[in-house]
Structure 1
Protein backbone atom coordinates (compact mmCIF):
# COMPACT_ATOMS: atom_id res chain seq x y z
CA UNK A 1 0.00 0.00 0.00
CA UNK A 2 1.09 3.57 -0.67
CA UNK A 3 0.35 6.38 1.79
CA UNK A 4 -0.96 9.61 0.29
CA UNK A 5 1.05 12.79 1.03
CA UNK A 6 -0.62 14.82 3.75
CA UNK A 7 -2.04 11.81 5.52
CA UNK A 8 -1.33 11.31 9.25
CA UNK A 9 -0.14 7.80 10.10
CA UNK A 10 1.48 6.22 13.15
CA UNK A 11 5.03 4.92 13.25
CA UNK A 12 5.45 2.22 15.87
CA UNK A 13 8.27 0.19 17.39
CA UNK A 14 7.40 -3.33 18.48
CA UNK A 15 9.31 -5.83 20.57
CA UNK A 16 7.82 -9.27 20.77
CA UNK A 17 4.12 -8.82 21.43
CA UNK A 18 4.51 -5.32 22.89
CA UNK A 19 4.35 -1.90 21.31
CA UNK A 20 7.19 0.18 22.77
CA UNK A 21 6.92 3.50 20.89
CA UNK A 22 4.25 5.34 18.87
CA UNK A 23 4.45 8.63 16.97
CA UNK A 24 1.88 10.33 14.75
CA UNK A 25 3.62 11.38 11.53
CA UNK A 26 2.59 13.42 8.48
CA UNK A 27 3.37 11.70 5.17
CA UNK A 28 5.42 13.93 2.85
CA UNK A 29 6.28 11.33 0.21
CA UNK A 30 5.98 7.61 -0.39
CA UNK A 31 8.00 6.64 -3.45
CA UNK A 32 11.06 4.76 -4.67
CA UNK A 33 13.28 6.68 -2.22
CA UNK A 34 11.14 5.61 0.69
CA UNK A 35 8.51 6.79 3.11
CA UNK A 36 9.28 10.36 4.23
CA UNK A 37 7.53 11.55 7.38
CA UNK A 38 7.29 14.75 9.45
CA UNK A 39 6.90 15.12 13.22
CA UNK A 40 7.04 18.64 14.70
CA UNK A 41 8.22 19.63 18.15
CA UNK A 42 5.45 19.53 20.74
CA UNK A 43 3.61 16.68 19.06
CA UNK A 44 2.46 13.60 20.94
CA UNK A 45 4.56 10.51 21.23
CA UNK A 46 4.28 7.51 23.50
CA UNK A 47 7.02 5.28 24.88
CA UNK A 48 7.01 2.24 27.10
CA UNK A 49 7.82 2.93 30.75
CA UNK A 50 7.41 0.86 33.91
CA UNK A 51 5.87 1.67 37.28
CA UNK A 52 9.07 3.47 38.32
CA UNK A 53 9.15 5.51 35.11
CA UNK A 54 12.13 3.59 33.68
CA UNK A 55 12.43 3.28 29.92
CA UNK A 56 13.88 0.50 27.76
CA UNK A 57 17.25 2.24 27.84
CA UNK A 58 17.35 1.60 31.57
CA UNK A 59 15.81 -1.87 31.84
CA UNK A 60 14.85 -4.75 29.54
CA UNK A 61 11.15 -5.32 28.92
CA UNK A 62 11.06 -8.56 30.90
CA UNK A 63 12.26 -6.67 34.00
CA UNK A 64 9.69 -3.88 33.72
CA UNK A 65 7.03 -3.80 36.43
CA UNK A 66 3.60 -2.84 35.10
CA UNK A 67 4.85 -1.57 31.72
CA UNK A 68 2.62 0.94 29.96
CA UNK A 69 2.75 3.38 27.07
CA UNK A 70 3.14 6.90 28.45
CA UNK A 71 2.12 9.83 26.23
CA UNK A 72 4.25 12.95 26.39
CA UNK A 73 5.35 15.83 24.13
CA UNK A 74 8.24 15.51 21.67
CA UNK A 75 10.74 18.16 22.74
CA UNK A 76 13.46 20.40 21.25
CA UNK A 77 13.47 19.28 17.61
CA UNK A 78 11.25 18.97 14.57
CA UNK A 79 12.15 15.81 12.64
CA UNK A 80 11.93 14.37 9.16
CA UNK A 81 12.18 10.57 9.09
CA UNK A 82 13.04 8.61 5.95
CA UNK A 83 12.40 4.86 5.85
CA UNK A 84 13.96 3.63 2.57
CA UNK A 85 12.27 0.61 0.93
CA UNK A 86 13.41 -2.62 2.57
CA UNK A 87 16.08 -0.83 4.61
CA UNK A 88 17.23 -1.98 8.05
CA UNK A 89 17.48 1.62 9.25
CA UNK A 90 15.79 5.01 9.17
CA UNK A 91 17.43 8.41 8.73
CA UNK A 92 16.20 11.38 10.76
CA UNK A 93 16.82 15.06 9.99
CA UNK A 94 16.76 17.22 13.14
CA UNK A 95 15.68 20.87 12.96
CA UNK A 96 15.86 23.34 15.82
CA UNK A 97 14.00 26.65 15.49
CA UNK A 98 13.83 25.99 11.75
CA UNK A 99 17.57 25.38 11.27
CA UNK A 100 19.04 22.02 10.32
CA UNK A 101 20.82 20.54 13.36
CA UNK A 102 22.09 17.17 12.10
CA UNK A 103 21.11 13.63 11.22
CA UNK A 104 20.30 10.60 13.33
CA UNK A 105 20.50 7.06 11.98
CA UNK A 106 18.36 4.50 13.76
CA UNK A 107 19.18 0.85 13.06
CA UNK A 108 15.89 -1.05 12.88
CA UNK A 109 14.20 -3.89 11.05
CA UNK A 110 12.64 -3.22 7.61
CA UNK A 111 9.21 -1.77 8.23
CA UNK A 112 5.93 -3.65 7.89
CA UNK A 113 3.01 -1.62 6.63
CA UNK A 114 -0.47 -1.73 8.09
CA UNK A 115 -3.57 0.24 7.02
CA UNK A 116 -2.85 3.16 9.36
CA UNK A 117 0.92 3.18 9.60
CA UNK A 118 4.17 1.24 9.81
CA UNK A 119 5.78 -1.08 12.34
CA UNK A 120 9.45 -1.82 12.94
CA UNK A 121 11.72 -3.10 15.72
CA UNK A 122 14.53 -0.98 17.09
CA UNK A 123 17.93 -2.68 16.81
CA UNK A 124 19.48 -0.61 19.63
CA UNK A 125 22.50 0.88 17.81
CA UNK A 126 22.28 4.46 16.51
CA UNK A 127 24.55 6.97 14.78
CA UNK A 128 24.50 10.69 15.63
CA UNK A 129 25.76 12.91 12.78
CA UNK A 130 26.54 16.64 12.84
CA UNK A 131 25.74 18.96 9.91
CA UNK A 132 29.47 18.69 9.04
CA UNK A 133 29.06 14.88 8.86
CA UNK A 134 31.10 14.19 11.97
CA UNK A 135 29.60 11.12 13.58
CA UNK A 136 29.55 9.07 16.78
CA UNK A 137 27.92 5.86 17.95
CA UNK A 138 24.99 5.95 20.34
CA UNK A 139 23.85 3.01 22.50
CA UNK A 140 26.66 0.69 21.39
CA UNK A 141 26.92 -0.43 25.03
CA UNK A 142 23.22 -1.28 25.06
CA UNK A 143 23.62 -3.43 21.95
CA UNK A 144 26.55 -5.27 23.53
CA UNK A 145 24.75 -5.81 26.84
CA UNK A 146 21.56 -7.14 25.27
CA UNK A 147 23.06 -9.37 22.61
CA UNK A 148 21.94 -12.90 23.45
CA UNK A 149 18.83 -11.79 25.32
CA UNK A 150 15.83 -13.68 23.87
CA UNK A 151 13.80 -10.47 23.39
CA UNK A 152 16.58 -8.67 21.57
CA UNK A 153 19.37 -9.93 19.26
CA UNK A 154 21.46 -13.05 18.96
CA UNK A 155 25.14 -12.84 18.01
CA UNK A 156 24.48 -13.15 14.27
CA UNK A 157 21.80 -10.47 14.43
CA UNK A 158 24.07 -8.09 16.32
CA UNK A 159 26.88 -8.67 13.83
CA UNK A 160 24.48 -7.87 10.96
CA UNK A 161 23.44 -4.63 12.68
CA UNK A 162 27.07 -3.58 13.11
CA UNK A 163 27.85 -4.42 9.48
CA UNK A 164 24.94 -2.30 8.28
CA UNK A 165 26.04 0.52 10.59
CA UNK A 166 29.59 0.38 9.17
CA UNK A 167 28.15 0.62 5.64
CA UNK A 168 26.16 3.68 6.66
CA UNK A 169 29.20 5.32 8.25
CA UNK A 170 31.03 4.98 4.93
CA UNK A 171 28.05 6.62 3.21
CA UNK A 172 28.04 9.44 5.77
CA UNK A 173 31.75 10.09 5.35
CA UNK A 174 31.40 10.11 1.55
CA UNK A 175 28.46 12.54 1.67
CA UNK A 176 26.24 10.15 -0.26
CA UNK A 177 22.46 10.36 -0.30
CA UNK A 178 20.72 11.04 2.00
CA UNK A 179 23.70 12.76 3.71
CA UNK A 180 24.34 15.05 0.73
CA UNK A 181 22.31 18.08 1.80
CA UNK A 182 18.96 16.71 0.64
CA UNK A 183 16.12 18.10 2.80
CA UNK A 184 18.44 20.17 5.01
CA UNK A 185 16.59 23.30 3.88
CA UNK A 186 13.16 21.77 4.49
CA UNK A 187 10.43 24.03 5.82
CA UNK A 188 6.96 22.77 6.77
CA UNK A 189 3.86 24.14 5.09
CA UNK A 190 2.70 27.05 7.28
CA UNK A 191 -0.84 25.76 6.93
CA UNK A 192 -0.10 22.51 8.73
CA UNK A 193 -1.12 22.15 12.39
CA UNK A 194 1.74 23.07 14.72
CA UNK A 195 1.43 19.75 16.57
CA UNK A 196 0.28 16.23 15.76
CA UNK A 197 -1.88 14.24 18.16
CA UNK A 198 -2.10 10.50 18.57
CA UNK A 199 -5.37 9.23 17.10
CA UNK A 200 -7.92 7.51 19.28
CA UNK A 201 -7.03 3.87 19.74
CA UNK A 202 -3.35 4.33 18.82
CA UNK A 203 -2.19 2.87 22.13
CA UNK A 204 -4.42 -0.19 21.96
CA UNK A 205 -4.46 -1.08 18.27
Structure 2
Protein backbone atom coordinates (compact mmCIF):
# COMPACT_ATOMS: atom_id res chain seq x y z
CA UNK A 1 0.00 0.00 0.00
CA UNK A 2 2.79 2.46 0.86
CA UNK A 3 4.58 1.71 -2.41
CA UNK A 4 1.39 2.60 -4.28
CA UNK A 5 1.19 5.86 -2.32
CA UNK A 6 4.76 6.71 -3.36
CA UNK A 7 3.94 5.90 -6.99
CA UNK A 8 0.97 8.29 -6.81
CA UNK A 9 3.11 10.94 -5.11
CA UNK A 10 5.65 10.74 -7.94
CA UNK A 11 2.94 11.78 -10.41
CA UNK A 12 2.36 14.97 -8.41
CA UNK A 13 -1.34 14.15 -7.99
CA UNK A 14 -2.38 13.32 -4.44
CA UNK A 15 -4.77 14.44 -1.72
CA UNK A 16 -4.29 15.05 1.96
CA UNK A 17 -6.46 12.71 4.03
CA UNK A 18 -7.57 12.99 7.64
CA UNK A 19 -6.23 10.35 10.03
CA UNK A 20 -6.27 9.70 13.76
CA UNK A 21 -3.15 8.61 15.67
CA UNK A 22 -4.02 5.46 17.64
CA UNK A 23 -2.70 3.16 20.36
CA UNK A 24 0.67 4.85 20.97
CA UNK A 25 1.50 8.15 22.65
CA UNK A 26 4.14 10.25 20.94
CA UNK A 27 6.52 12.87 22.29
CA UNK A 28 8.20 14.63 19.37
CA UNK A 29 11.15 17.04 19.32
CA UNK A 30 11.53 18.81 15.97
CA UNK A 31 14.12 21.57 15.62
CA UNK A 32 12.50 23.71 12.87
CA UNK A 33 15.60 24.08 10.68
CA UNK A 34 16.91 20.51 11.01
CA UNK A 35 16.40 17.57 8.64
CA UNK A 36 15.21 15.21 11.40
CA UNK A 37 12.96 14.84 14.42
CA UNK A 38 13.47 12.73 17.53
CA UNK A 39 10.41 10.85 18.70
CA UNK A 40 9.65 8.86 21.85
CA UNK A 41 6.90 6.26 21.39
CA UNK A 42 5.01 5.23 24.53
CA UNK A 43 2.53 2.44 25.17
CA UNK A 44 0.64 1.76 28.39
CA UNK A 45 3.71 -0.25 29.49
CA UNK A 46 6.06 2.75 29.12
CA UNK A 47 8.67 3.84 26.57
CA UNK A 48 8.55 1.47 23.59
CA UNK A 49 11.40 3.01 21.57
CA UNK A 50 13.09 6.14 20.33
CA UNK A 51 12.74 6.99 16.67
CA UNK A 52 14.79 9.33 14.49
CA UNK A 53 12.64 10.47 11.60
CA UNK A 54 14.55 12.02 8.70
CA UNK A 55 12.48 14.82 7.18
CA UNK A 56 12.76 18.22 5.54
CA UNK A 57 12.90 21.30 7.78
CA UNK A 58 9.52 22.50 9.02
CA UNK A 59 7.77 25.37 7.21
CA UNK A 60 4.85 27.36 8.60
CA UNK A 61 1.75 27.41 6.36
CA UNK A 62 -1.71 28.91 6.70
CA UNK A 63 -2.93 25.49 7.89
CA UNK A 64 -0.18 24.99 10.47
CA UNK A 65 3.16 23.36 9.73
CA UNK A 66 4.43 21.48 6.71
CA UNK A 67 7.29 19.02 6.45
CA UNK A 68 8.21 16.12 4.19
CA UNK A 69 9.18 12.67 5.42
CA UNK A 70 12.34 11.34 3.77
CA UNK A 71 11.08 7.77 4.31
CA UNK A 72 14.03 6.11 6.03
CA UNK A 73 14.27 6.16 9.83
CA UNK A 74 16.30 4.90 12.76
CA UNK A 75 14.58 2.89 15.49
CA UNK A 76 16.50 3.07 18.76
CA UNK A 77 16.11 0.81 21.80
CA UNK A 78 14.51 2.47 24.85
CA UNK A 79 17.79 2.20 26.80
CA UNK A 80 19.80 3.51 23.80
CA UNK A 81 21.90 0.30 23.59
CA UNK A 82 20.98 -0.58 20.01
CA UNK A 83 19.43 0.74 16.82
CA UNK A 84 18.36 -0.36 13.36
CA UNK A 85 17.43 1.24 10.06
CA UNK A 86 13.73 1.16 9.12
CA UNK A 87 12.18 1.32 5.63
CA UNK A 88 15.39 1.10 3.58
CA UNK A 89 13.37 -0.52 0.76
CA UNK A 90 10.90 2.37 0.70
CA UNK A 91 13.75 4.87 0.72
CA UNK A 92 15.32 3.14 -2.29
CA UNK A 93 11.93 3.19 -4.05
CA UNK A 94 11.35 6.94 -3.55
CA UNK A 95 14.93 7.63 -4.67
CA UNK A 96 14.30 5.63 -7.88
CA UNK A 97 11.06 7.58 -8.44
CA UNK A 98 12.89 10.89 -7.98
CA UNK A 99 10.69 11.98 -5.06
CA UNK A 100 13.84 12.29 -2.97
CA UNK A 101 16.96 13.43 -4.78
CA UNK A 102 20.48 14.36 -3.74
CA UNK A 103 19.28 17.95 -3.28
CA UNK A 104 16.76 16.73 -0.67
CA UNK A 105 18.83 14.29 1.26
CA UNK A 106 22.31 13.07 2.02
CA UNK A 107 21.16 9.95 3.89
CA UNK A 108 23.36 6.88 3.50
CA UNK A 109 22.11 3.48 4.77
CA UNK A 110 23.67 1.32 6.28
CA UNK A 111 27.45 1.60 6.53
CA UNK A 112 27.52 4.87 4.61
CA UNK A 113 26.16 3.54 1.30
CA UNK A 114 23.45 5.14 -0.81
CA UNK A 115 20.87 2.42 -1.65
CA UNK A 116 20.48 3.79 -5.18
CA UNK A 117 23.98 4.59 -6.37
CA UNK A 118 26.06 2.05 -4.41
* TM-score higher than 0.5: yes
| Residue of structure 2 equivalent to 1:201 | none
The aligned length equals 106
The aligned counterpart of 1:161 is: 107
Match of 1:142 among 83, 90, 105: 90
* Residue aligning to 1:92: 39
- The answer to whether the Cα contact below 8 Å between 2:32 and 2:59 also exists between their aligned partners in 1 is no
RCO comparison, higher one (Cα < 8 Å, 6+): 1
Asked if 1:58 corresponds to 2:3, the answer is yes
Q: Please state how far the C-alpha of 1:138 moved relative to its aligned partner.
A: 0.6
- Structure 1, unaligned stretches of length 5 or more? 1-53, 167-205
Change (3 A) 1:112 1:63: closer
How much does 1:93 deviate?
A: 0.8
Partner of 1:124: 71
Q: Looking at CA atoms only, which structure, 1 or 2, has the larger radius of gyration?
A: 1
Instruction: Kindly report the root-mean-square deviation, in angstroms, between the aligned alpha carbons of the 2 structures.
Output: 2.7
SS at structure 1 position matched to 2:79 = coil
Q: Is the 8 A contact 1:105 1:126 kept in 2?
A: yes
Cα distance change, pair 80–141 in 1 and its aligned pair in 2 (3 A): same
Write the deviation string for residues 34-56 of structure 1: whole angstroms up to 9, x where unpaired: xxxxxxxxxxxxxxxxxxxx3xx
CA separation of 1:159/1:79 partners in 2, compared to 1, >3 Å: closer, same or farther? closer
Asked whether the equivalents of residues 128 and 136 of structure 1 are also in contact (C-alpha less than 8 Å), the reply is: yes
* CA distance in structure 1 between the aligned counterparts of 2:107 and 2:41, rounded to whole angstroms: 23
- 2:116 corresponds to: none
Confirm or deny: 8 A CA contact 1:91 1:105 kept in the other structure.
Answer: yes
Deviations 1:154-182 (A, max 9, x none): 2x24760238xx7xxxxxxxxxxxxxxxx
Bigger share in strand: 1
How many angstroms apart in 2 are the aligned matches of 1:79 and 1:111?
18
